[in-house]
Structure 1
Amino acid sequence: MGKKILIVGGVAGGASVAARVRRLDEHAEIIMLEKGPHVSFSNCSLPYHLSGIVEDSQDLVLMNPDIFKNRYNIEARVNQEVMKINRDKKTITIKDLIADRTYEEPYDSLVLSPGAKPIRPNLDGIDHPNVFTVRNVVDIENMNDFIKQEDIKNIAVIGGDLLVWRLLKI
């Protein structure tokens, strides 16, 4: 059996690494760990769910753990939060967020691609329920549900990445 490769993060970076490792080593055991419920979703299309162009947010999800396993022999575990790297033992400590249990997973090689955390500036009202950050499918679903429930007609967008520019064009 080949090396055991653990990849922390299952969206664009992590999924790309997993696919590349598979091309380089068909015998490697590859496990991709994602804290959220989705792997490999279309980040750039998230704003189109708000506009209605993409009606069903699940259409933003490009792959799921079954497809990764069946097509690429990559184990993709969702709802798995990496709590600690135990470098001396070459293991990581993982919390299964669904089963609410913690376990250790050994590795030969470890790749970190956990993504970014949105910056929330220290402003009055930043923790108000009508202030959102958008990073994944769950975030855009929550924002879209709030907009519909509260019949919101105007929003302010703060930030300057590609996602923001797509929101402004909607």
Structure 2
Amino acid sequence: MDEQQENAQATGSLTYYFIGAVVLVLIAGGVYFLRPKSSNAPAPKGNEVMAPVEVSPTPGPITGLACERQWYNPVIGFSKYFLGVEGSDLATSKKVTCNFSVSVAGKVVATASAQSSLAPALVRGGATYRCDSASLELEANVPTVVDVMLKNDSNQTASCTQTFLLPQP
């Protein structure tokens, strides 16, 4: 009888060891799968990308066709960028045509055109517009000059120029 009790005790101990090992493996697996994932993409270097420069809109009254802000938006995963401009005009105008000309090292590499209707800006005594270009294939990490020629339906013109360092896709 003593031999049977010893076998039962040994079997019980073995069961406890087995259950403990399974619990330990489950805990280790849970910690592994629930850990914070790190990104495989390298962190961008601070001096690689120049943020778009924004000029604050004039808070005073609108006196004519003007360019107030230019920007770009990258297409994720591609060397394509949307260009944009916004500004103001007199309330008598109904639409603005924006002609984008993109130059690198003094050579024109892309052009685009967009048209915008004007939205009333009663507080400023005029109207505002916003033009967005179609996506343009442009080279990244080189100084890129964007010239915008504006023309309203009253044949008034204005222009603005901005230099961007477009980010790598």
TM-score (structure 2 length as normaliser):
0.21
The structure whose RCO (Cα within 8 Å, separation 6+) is larger is 1
Compare CA radii of gyration and give the structure with the larger one: 2
TM-score (structure 1 length as normaliser):
0.21
Between structures 1 and 2, the one with greater strand share: 2
Between structures 1 and 2, the one with greater helix share: 1
